């Protein structure tokens, strides 16, 4: 990360808020890891898991991409914040750009942390425990 950051700064003049990235990236990774565990634990085989992943991406990621491209108006961003992908994208984008909207960033952090906790506690742990006991 240090080499990449140095290259971005010296070659392209890009600076980031690394303190914010140290908070935002683990939140995004934890939430998406929980979602990935649910998808893999609930699937019979690899093909079923890919089908669930495509469905997840179609529902939660495509609207965020369309918003980033300007196809969805900015007034609908609060609605898009129910997507973990959009919440993570907003947080990381704000850390890279250095422009924060406190209410949106705080709600995205709380949402990702709460969602990851709930998914790990109520979906991943019981399913993993059942799979481990079954063998």
DSSP E strand stretches across 14-101: none
10 in a structural domain: no
38 in a structural domain: yes
Confidence of residue 58 (pLDDT cuts 50, 70, 90): very high
Q: Which pTM does this prediction carry?
A: 0.87
Contact yes or no for 96/32 (Cβ under 8 A):
no
- Per-residue pLDDT of 18-32, as tens digits, reads 899 999 999 999 999
Q: What is the mean pLDDT of residues 45-66?
A: 96
9 in a structural domain: no
User: Which one has a higher pLDDT value, 17 or 51?
Assistant: 51
H/E run at residue 17:
none
**Residue numbers of the domain that contains 62:** 17-134
- Per-residue pLDDT of 63-91, as tens digits, reads 999 999 999 999 999 999 999 999 999 99
Confidence of residue 135 (pLDDT cuts 50, 70, 90): low
Residue 48 to residue 50: CA distance in whole angstroms = 5
pLDDT value at residue 89: 95
Per the structure, the count of domains in the chain is: 1
Total residue length of the chain: 135
């Amino acid at each position: 990360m240090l080499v990449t950051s140095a290259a971005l700064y010296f070659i392209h003049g890009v600076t980031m808020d690394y303190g914010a990235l140290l908070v935002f990236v683990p939140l995004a990774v934890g939430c998406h890891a929980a979602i990935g565990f649910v998808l893999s634990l609930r699937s019979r085989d690899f093909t079923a898991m890919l089908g669930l992943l495509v469905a997840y991406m179609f529902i939660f990621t495509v609207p965020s991409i369309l918003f980033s491209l300007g196809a969805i108006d900015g007034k609908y961003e609060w609605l898009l914040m129910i997507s973990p992908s959009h919440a993570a994208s907003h947080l990381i984008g704000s850390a890279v750009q250095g422009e924060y909207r406190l209410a949106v960033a705080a709600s995205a952090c709380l949402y990702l942390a709460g969602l990851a906790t709930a998914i790990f506690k109520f979906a991943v742990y019981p399913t993993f425990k059942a799979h481990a006991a079954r063998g």
